[in-house]
Amino acid sequence: MESATGQEAQGALPEGLGDAISGTAEEIATLLRGVADTSLPVPRSEWTVGEAAAHLAQANELMADLAAGNERSYGDGTPQSLATANERALAQFDEREAEPLARMITEQAGAFLKAAAQPAAQGTLVTPMGPMDRAVLGSYLLTHMLGHGYDLARALRRPHMIDRARVELTLPFLIAAMPRVTDAAATAGLTVRYTIRLRGGARFGVTFTDGTVAVSPQPPSRPDCTILCEPATFLLMALGRRDPRGAIARGHILAWGRKPWLAPRFPALFTAP
């Protein structure tokens, strides 16, 4: 059943995004409720479960504040500045217990949806990943929750909440963010046209011209390399959670075109924030 908050936000956000945000926040809260020991380590992270959940609560509050039109300084979009801002914020926030953090995560997701549904919710916002409207900011919020929700699910040995529909809703943010997270050293002098396809769904284009990147919702007419990727695998690679070599070996990624050997290189052209 569609939540009331999700219904209210549908006029301001793309179809399904409000429900994906509220549903993902609730699934993360369900993971956390009843967890007695939040000092458990998160795999491939320096954070514990409590720290990751605290970061999610803080990030959801930040996104809700931005959606309400309030300006907040939080790094400059580079991985280093965001990591520094995260650590500073965590040091100033003491809560690490599961139940209060679960409640904060859902409440702040709801606050975001309420702010996004306001009639004045138009125009461009300044965010940690550059200027964007509220629809792209909602995609950013969903992307962020899915990444850390996946981390928490792994730490607690529970199923994650990433599916094809939610991954497609992250694309507006990922397309907007890709130029900002391009690795200049990795792309220096590179000229190539990629088409990225999600299995069973969306596609988009990424074109490098002498190292300069352009990302478009429409694929190029003559791509050098087409990459077909299982949706959850695509998002996890985009967020630095999965190695493309293992995904290729398991058949989760296929590539073809004039230069299919460029497929494994694609994730390394970006630095996950």
d(CA 8, CA 133): 18
d(CA 51, CA 96): 6
pLDDT of residue 11: 53
What are the CA-CA distances from residue 152 to residues 32, 50, 71, 84, 241 (Å)? 8, 9, 29, 21, 12
Q: What is the pTM of this model?
A: 0.92
Q: Which of 54, 45, 57, 24 is nearest to 167 (CA)?
A: 24
Residues of the chain within CATH 1.20.120 domain(s) are: 4-168
More confident residue, 75 or 233: 233
Query: With 60 as the cut, is the pLDDT of residue 3 above it?
Result: no
Structure confidence by residue, pLDDT tens digits, 88-104: 999 999 999 999 999 99
Which residue has 């850390």 as its token pair? 148
Task: Say whether domain 182-269 belongs to CATH 3.40.630.10.
Answer: no
d(CA 166, CA 241): 17
pLDDT of residue 165: 96
Per-residue pLDDT band at 244 (split at 50, 70, 90): confident
Residues of the chain within CATH 3.30.1050.10 domain(s) are: 182-269
Q: Which fold has domain 4-168?
A: Four Helix Bundle (Hemerythrin (Met), subunit A) (1.20.120)
Average pLDDT over residues 76-95: 89
Per-residue pLDDT band at 1 (split at 50, 70, 90): very low
